[in-house]
Amino acid sequence: MALKIYSTLSNSKQEFVPLEEGKIRMYVCGMTVYDYCHLGHARVLVAFDVITKYMRASGYDVTYVRNITDIDDKIINRAADNGEAFTDLTDRFIAFMHEDEKALGVARPDIEPRATAYIDEIIAMTQNLIEKGYAYACDNGDVYYRVAKFEGYGKLSNKNPEELLAGARIETGDIKEDPRDFALWKSANVDDVSWPSPWGAGRPGWHIECSAMTKCCLGETFDIHGGGPDLPFPHHENEIAQSEAANDKEFARYWMHAGAVRVDGEKMSKSLGNFFTIREILEKYHHEVVRYVLVRSHYRSPINYSEENLKTAKVELDRLYTGIRGYEHVKALDLCEFDDENSHVKAFREAMDDDFNTALAISVLFEAVRELNTATKQQADNADDLAQVLKSMAATLGLLLENVDSYMQSGLGGAAISAEQIDTLIAERIQAKADRNFQRADEVRDLLKEQGVVLEDGAGGTTWRRE
């Protein structure tokens, strides 16, 4: 089955045909770094991490670019409030972002360009657009893009330019030719955060940054452009207008957008008190449980984040980890290393080739773990092979990468009882059973159960896990 991708541009699934056979060039809009990454960022980080992992596991040579916006009004204002240089602020939150993505098992992109490193390229593209008549400089040093000049404006977001004009508000003193026009370059005082340009001191607008960085990192046309649910309009629409006008070529061939995150059915908002940063969530829940919540829904589907969903996710992930207990010696492989006739891998590939349907792919994991559990009980010869298949498929999703006991025994969210205390009580229970003091042995089991610790007696001794 050929890989199919749902492209926002066509509003349909399309067979994916890369510009260059065997190679994929992908650009995803990253963070504006002035605060900690939140749950919405986690959705985008994990979604495109899974997409990249799968494409590589399928044998593609992937160049993954995810930018950093390190100059913006919010950045400048936050730095001023803190009494620090804007570069100190952005460097700090870039480091925090890297910590968060590592904690979620998200691999770093191949290229991570910062907007401030591409000022010359941004100025050159802006000048090109002026010379072609797609942009104009105002007396105050601002430069705007002429939306009416670009015939294809609105093709990504399905917005009618005339309707945008009818709904636009004209502010008093607005120097734009058309209220729909957007800034390519913003004038600034020399003492402000600014760079010299043909139009005076200033800094780039938000949209032009990505057009310049994609061209420098991936070329004038590349395979996939991705981002969050709020980006098709105006950001990505404006990127298309800028890039295709400047380069006279198609910009990105496939457009992918992750779904939104809701918290207990409501939009995440600081004012509603349901706004969570990645690090706040990881203080309470194991990172693979959080990742599992984000992966088990299709990347385009909205996610409802709730305590109940997290608890359900842990129960399901526990089942998978329980299945691979005792198979620590088995190593995961890339999917392209398996025979095409392997039924589980074939079903997994079919799910992922259908626009990266992780929800269906996870159901394949549970089919595999059921077969593995049976093989384990029967001590079947193919048990190791089944474990390898399960681990390999899960690794493609960034799951089942922890030591089983470490995962099962992780104590987050202020666990009332430590691992050392648990081990001491288990030793006491074993001794009580040896002394035929079964009442005390049962009391210890019940005590641990009250603390959310489940004991499992087997041929190899007693193991434990947290509920």
What CATH number labels 307-408? 1.20.120.640
For the cut 70, the answer to whether the pLDDT of residue 7 exceeds it is: yes
Return the structure tokens found at 83: 């009494």
What pLDDT sits at residue 433?
Answer: 82
Return the structure tokens found at 307: 């305590």
Q: What is the mean pLDDT of the chain?
A: 91
Q: Tell me the C-alpha distance between 89 and 372, whole Å.
A: 50
Task: Tell me if 210 is assigned to a ligand binding site.
Answer: yes
What pLDDT sits at residue 160?
Answer: 87
Confidence of residue 414 (pLDDT cuts 50, 70, 90): very low
What pLDDT sits at residue 415?
Answer: 54
20-261 belongs to CATH 3.40.50.620? yes
For the cut 70, the answer to whether the pLDDT of residue 280 exceeds it is: yes
pTM of the predicted model as reported, rounded to 2 decimal places: 0.89
Task: Tell me if 29 is assigned to a ligand binding site.
Answer: yes
Window from 14-18, 148-152, 210-214, 443-447 with minimum mean pLDDT: 443-447
20-261 and 307-408: identical CATH topology: no
Q: Tell me the C-alpha distance between 27 and 57, whole Å.
A: 19
For the cut 80, the answer to whether the pLDDT of residue 458 exceeds it is: no
Task: Tell me if 235 is assigned to a ligand binding site.
Answer: yes
What pLDDT sits at residue 172?
Answer: 45
pLDDT digit string (tens) for 340-364? 889 999 999 999 999 999 999 999 9
pLDDT digit string (tens) for 80-95? 999 999 999 999 999 9
- Kindly list the domain boundaries of the chain, sorted by start residue: 20-261, 307-408, 419-466
Q: Tell me the C-alpha distance between 12 and 360, whole Å.
A: 19
Percent of the chain with pLDDT over 90: 75
* Sole residue written with tokens 């330019």: 161
Task: Tell me if 101 is assigned to a ligand binding site.
Answer: no
CB of 324 closer than 8 Å to CB of 395 = no
Angle of the 86-103 helix axis to the 39-57 helix axis, nearest 10: 60
CB of 358 closer than 8 Å to CB of 299 = yes
CB neighbour class for 43 (10 Å; exposed up to 12, middle 13-18, buried from 19) = buried
Task: Tell me if 138 is assigned to a ligand binding site.
Answer: no
